[in-house]
Copies of this chain bind each other. A is one copy, B any other.
Amino acid sequence: MGAKMRLTAAERGVEVLEAAVQAFGASGYEGTKTDEIARLAGVSQPYVIRLFGTKQQLFLAAVQSVCDRIEQIFREAAEESPELRTLGHNYERLLAEPELLLVLLHGFSASRDPAIGDAVRERFGRIYSLVRELTGASPTEAREFLATGMLLTVMSAMQVIGPDAASLPWAEELTSTLGDTK
């Protein structure tokens, strides 16, 4: 394990942010304690606050971070082949880092907080536009693509898909259809 050495504030900030993404993804905005993030990052709770100001600002940073990563994954997938089908195939890559979609989901759930709502609306709109730009998909096709993503997201939150999934018949039946088109 890394010896606990001194880092610059910027470097430590990155580590704390990564811990925050994991923690918020698992427990949501209200459900995650800053102390838990601190323990994950291996620093004291007050230092987490000092680095990011408030818990809300840390959550916003986490949302921005996961959205950047999601966009990056879509761009990489589109580079291989700029078709929706390819992007869809790459949901696997998103589900390999479940915290990405989960943080986003918890952002939706916390949208009543005006600052969080603004951020989430802006980023989700941007993802919609990006999908269309990258693939040339029609609004309808992009809608179906995002809808599938949202279903996978909530199933991931329910823990019926992903690493710690209890295997349920209906969940497997549902995911087995992911390649099909009606």
Q: Which residues of A contact B (CB under 8 A)?
A: 26-31, 105-106, 108-112, 117, 120-121, 124-125, 128-129, 138-144, 146-148, 150-151, 153-154, 157-160, 166, 168, 170-171, 173-174, 176-178, 180-182
Contacts and interface: CB of A to CB of B under 8 A. Distances in A.
Contacts of A106: 109
Contacts of A128: 170, 174
A143 B139 contact: no
A157 B27 contact: no
B112 A168 contact: no
Copies in the complex: 2
Most chain-B CB neighbours within 10 Å: which of A28, A108, A109? A109
Contact of A158 (B31, B111, B180): B111
Contacts of A140: 177, 180-182
A112 B99 CA distance: 13
A18 to B, nearest CB: 19
B182 A125 contact: no
A108 B105 contact: yes
B117 A159 contact: yes
A35 to B, nearest CB: 15
A113 to B, nearest CB: 9
Nearest to A128: B170
Most chain-B CB neighbours within 10 Å: which of A140, A147, A159, A173? A147
A52 to B, nearest CB: 20
